[in-house]
Amino acid sequence: MATEHPSSALRAPASSRPYARANPGYGKRSVPDQRPPRADDFVLLPERERHIAGYVDRLPDGAAMDIKSLAKDLPPYGQMAVGSALRALGVAGHLRHVRCLAALGDGQVRWVTRTYWSRTARDNEWWNARLHAEGNPEPPAPLAIPAPSAAAPVPVQAAAPVVPQQRPTAPTAVRASAQAPVPAAASAPVPAASASATASAPQGHSPGYLALARLGRVDPRLALSAGDCDALEELAAAWLARGVDGEYLVRTLAAGLPDTVDSPVGFVRRRLRDKIPPRLPTAPTPGESVRRLMVECTQCGTPGRPEALPDGLCRSCRTTAPDDPGPDPATEPTVERDVTAYVGTLRELLRLP
């Protein structure tokens, strides 16, 4: 009678409660470029690892991947067994524990621990390249703007509207000829008006210079000359480079003045040096990609570069034996021991000085 053999990939037990959701930024992350799931995905793994891998593979992204959460959802195995299974899955190339710097929704930047999962087993070279690209994303390439060709028409000339000329009538022509010398005489004050407008609006001055020039209009005790503004322009530019604007600079310099200011330029110079604002830390925006990333050892959690942790293990964990409880001592075959020889060995040890 033929017996139907079940699939080698064990099915994970149906949990009585929903899967544990990790905190924002933590949890499972599936890597791209994976083939669709099949029944023989983890056929080469031992029974315990095959069981846990099948359950982890069905978890959605963002699910909790810590040992305690997996042990609660997998009653047949305890925390030590789950930890040993995750270590074996890391050596097999299915997962990596990663510590990365991420910007969360509350505006804070913190280190989070993620578990990158791959249904397909990957080698160390693939994981190193993938995690390096994840931690150092390339900036988008600038758009290439084609240069205009020499034969192309000038846009300004092409877009200039053509105003149809009207033929003036005879009285209009006579009136225009009679008033012909008037525009030359009327155009004389125009350059003076334009020159005064140019002189009233300073051109080519920095925002720091303009803010210093406004101090005398805010408070006459801080009236500075043009030479004083040139001498203090560099100190004012240092304020603006730290994220403040000209209005903040003027308010700070003009606040709490004494009754008399003997030397406005010396007083402003002293305040520019003593009251310079601190530099604000620039935090990445929530949509910005993560720039710093380190791999954690699957067994002890020691962080390091991807190249320094092959198979997801640090050097000390690779050289020591895995932390595995091993088979049940009740199922191991008993070994016959010569009790008489054993007692004799103990007596010889006691006789030694």
The tens digit of pLDDT for each residue in 226-256 reads 999 999 999 999 999 888 888 999 999 999 8
pLDDT at 17: 53
pLDDT at 170: 46
- Calculate Rg over the CA atoms of the chain: 40
- Of the candidates 191, 268, 181, the one whose C-alpha atom is nearest the C-alpha of residue 224 is 268
Question: Residue 345: is its pLDDT beyond 70?
Answer: yes
Cα–Cα distances (Å) from 80 to 68, 85, 290, in that order, read 10, 9, 32
Question: Residue 222: is its pLDDT beyond 90?
Answer: yes
pLDDT at 7: 45
Confidence category of residue 339, pLDDT binned at 50, 70, 90: confident
How many other CB atoms are found less than 10 A from the CB of residue 302? 16
Higher-scoring residue by pLDDT: 341, 73: 73
The tens digit of pLDDT for each residue in 46-75 reads 999 999 999 999 999 989 888 988 988 888
Residue pointed to by tokens 């900036």: 139
Domain residue ranges of the chain, discontinuous segments joined by +: 27-137+289-330, 207-274
Question: Residue 26: is its pLDDT beyond 80?
Answer: yes
d(CA 239, CA 206): 13
The tens digit of pLDDT for each residue in 276-308 reads 988 876 554 454 444 467 888 888 888 888 888
The tens digit of pLDDT for each residue in 70-99 reads 988 888 888 999 999 999 999 999 999 888
Residue pointed to by tokens 């925390």: 79
d(CA 212, CA 235): 10
Lowest mean pLDDT among 55-64, 131-140, 145-154: 145-154
Higher-scoring residue by pLDDT: 140, 241: 241
Question: Residue 107: is its pLDDT beyond 70?
Answer: no
Q: E strands of 131-272, at which residues?
A: none
DSSP 113-135: EEEEE-SS---HHHHHHHHHHHH
Higher-scoring residue by pLDDT: 166, 65: 65
Highest averaged pLDDT of the listed ranges 27-36, 100-109, 184-193, 285-294? 27-36
> What rounded mean pLDDT belongs to the chain?
73
Q: Which helix (H) or strand (E) holds 98?
A: strand 95-103
pLDDT at 288: 45
